[in-house]
Amino acid sequence: MEVLVQSIVLATVLTVLTTWAWSVVNWVWLRLKRLERLLRQQGLSGKPYTFLFGNLKESSRLLAEAKSKPTATPDDIKPRLLPFVHRSFQTFGIHIFILSLCVALIFPYSLTLACFRPLVDGALMEF
């Protein structure tokens, strides 16, 4: 009888751990790769999703680089304000997407930015 209870407890623990592991893999990898594939099918382009941190390293580097240089004209604030989005527009064209995963526990959801350049330009002109 004791062996049966231990078997049931072990099976339950393994089931819970497997379910939890699958949901984590789905959260940090599969769902974002699926979203990336769907956005590409709709005609958007962008950098491929990289595991867990996305484009955070490149975005941080571009932001530090933009802050270190003085702005050429006061009207052209886009490269200084959003350097990663500006570089993505230059590289991929008008219709882009940017995938990243916020690793903070406060907001554990994927952040997707799908942009159309005239809308971003118009919003920044009002700013």
pLDDT in tens, the chain (127 residues): 778 889 999 999 999 999 999 998 887 788 878 888 888 888 888 888 877 666 778 888 988 998 888 776 666 777 788 888 888 888 888 777 777 655 433 344 445 555 555 544 554 444 3
Contact 113, 59 (CB under 8 A): no
Torsions phi, psi of 114, nearest 5?
-105, 120
Beta-bridged to residue 115, according to DSSP, are 96
Task: Tell me which long-range contacts 89-93 makes (C-beta under 8 A, separation of at least 24).
Answer: 89/115, 89/117, 89/120, 92/45, 92/46, 93/45
Query: Torsion angle of alpha carbons 68, 72, 77, 79, nearest 10°?
Result: -60
Q: How far apart are alpha carbons 54 and 79 in whole angstroms? A: 20
Interhelix angle 83-92/56-68, rounded to 10 degrees, is 110
